[in-house]
Amino acid sequence: DAGITQSPRYKITETGRQVTLMCHQTWSHSYMFWYRQDLGHGLRLIYYSAAADITDKGEVPDGYVVSRSKTENFPLTLESATRSQTSVYFCASSETETQYFGPGTRLLVL
């Protein structure tokens, strides 16, 4: 199906483990984004990408790594998960300023 998908939808992990969240879009949008959403903070930008092989830091990049080898995929890796990274993670894509969001991944770090 066309659109933007995220996997897994739910993830429980332990502190210190590496976790990768996947994001895939079928629109061939140039721009892709990773946000985290926490109570009291709203949506905060972690990383974004303007095209394949072009990525840049957002507001809260520490502890996260991204890559974009193909236009349609934008994985987010937590290199060594911490409890403070427990959150809901949203991927989004856009071709103009209107962003389209994936369904989100709920991550719990124990």
For other proteins, the binding residues (CB under 8 A) are 30-31, 33, 35, 40-45, 48, 50, 58, 90, 94, 97-104
Report the nearest approach of other proteins to the CB of residue 51 (Å): 10
36 or 81: whose CB is closer to other proteins? 36
Rounded Cα gap, residues 49 and 102, in angstroms: 16
β-strand partners of 19: 78
67 or 100: whose CB is closer to other proteins? 100
Rounded Cα gap, residues 92 and 13, in angstroms: 23
Report the nearest approach of other proteins to the CB of residue 32 (Å): 10
Report the nearest approach of other proteins to the CB of residue 15 (Å): 26
45 or 108: whose CB is closer to other proteins? 45
Q: How far is CA 14 from CA 17, 25, 33, 77, in A?
A: 6, 28, 25, 14
69 or 96: whose CB is closer to other proteins? 96
Strands 76-78 and 19-25: antiparallel
